[in-house]
């Protein structure tokens, strides 16, 4: 099976005081379609940097990155943005909902960006509201929701475009344990439906629930040869 993600010798550094500080070192990684992967490690290990590369949020790296068979490093900024829009979705720790849009409008917006006709958008939004059991919240604003409810909306917004790759950055980090459990159960459900998920987490319990765990230390993947 062709990997959904292939990284070969990917590195990332930042210039600091005339030298380079490395945050990713010689990352070699393949992610198969349908995997659920946890990325773990101490603060500053490079977890968010890796997620930013995978999510095409950061283009200032070197090496090779193929996403769904497309060589990312060969694309210009416009084509990278289109690839991100078509293949990737994000869940963040702090929701990133649009405060002055109602719940249903937050879900509708990603479909507008894809020029989905209004009738089809309404049907997809309705399906997600029902699936995530938030129909009763559809006309509320994010500020009127609990943290767990906001994260449910954020997950629904992320998956409404049916992405190939779902990237979750500490998706349970700001939640009460009961809400965190609800979000993890939802991620498992999405994964069982075939969605590829990569989550960054500090939570050992939730990290262990993934099918595979990657650990980063000082920008290196655990077990990788250092040179």
Profile the chain (227 residues) by mean pLDDT over runs of 10 residues.
95 88 96 97 92 94 97 96 94 86 95 92 94 92 91 90 93 81 90 95 92 95 79
End-to-end CA distance of the chain: 31
- The DSSP bridge partners found for residue 162 are none
> By the 8 A CB rule, do 106 and 157 touch?
yes
Chain-centre distance for alpha carbon 193: 17
Task: Compute the Cα dihedral for 109, 111, 115, 116 and give only its sign.
Answer: negative
Give the pTM: 0.91
Nearest-angstrom CA–CA distance, 119 and 80: 29
Domains, the chain, ranges and CATH? 5-221 (3.40.50.300)
How much is the pLDDT for 227? 65
Nearest-angstrom CA–CA distance, 59 and 52: 9
């Amino acid at each position: 099976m062709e990997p959904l993600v292939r990284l070969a010798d990917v590195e990332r550094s930042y210039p600091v005081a005339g030298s380079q500080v490395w945050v990713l070192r010689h990352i070699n990684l393949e992610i198969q379609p349908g995997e659920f992967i946890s990325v773990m490690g101490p603060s500053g290990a490079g977890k968010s940097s890796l997620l930013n590369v995978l999510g095409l949020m950061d283009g200032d790296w070197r090496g090779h990155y193929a996403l769904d068979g497309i060589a990312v490093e060969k694309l210009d900024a416009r084509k990278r943005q289109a690839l991100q829009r078509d293949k990737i979705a994000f869940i963040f720790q702090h929701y990133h909902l649009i405060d002055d849009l109602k719940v249903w409008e937050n879900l509708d917006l990603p479909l507008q960006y894809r020029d989905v006709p209004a009738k089809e958008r309404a049907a997809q939004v309705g399906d997600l509201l029902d699936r995530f059991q938030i129909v009763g919240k559809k006309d509320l604003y994010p500020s009127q929701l609990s943290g767990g409810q906001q994260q449910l909306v954020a997950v629904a917004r992320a998956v409404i475009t049916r992405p190939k790759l779902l990237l979750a950055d500490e998706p349970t980090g700001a939640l009460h344990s009961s809400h965190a459990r609800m979000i993890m159960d939802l991620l498992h459900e999405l994964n069982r439906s075939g969605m590829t998920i990569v989550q960054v987490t500090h939570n050992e319990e939730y990290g262990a629930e993934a099918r595979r765990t990657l650990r980063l230390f000082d920008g290196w993947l655990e077990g990788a040869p250092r040179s």
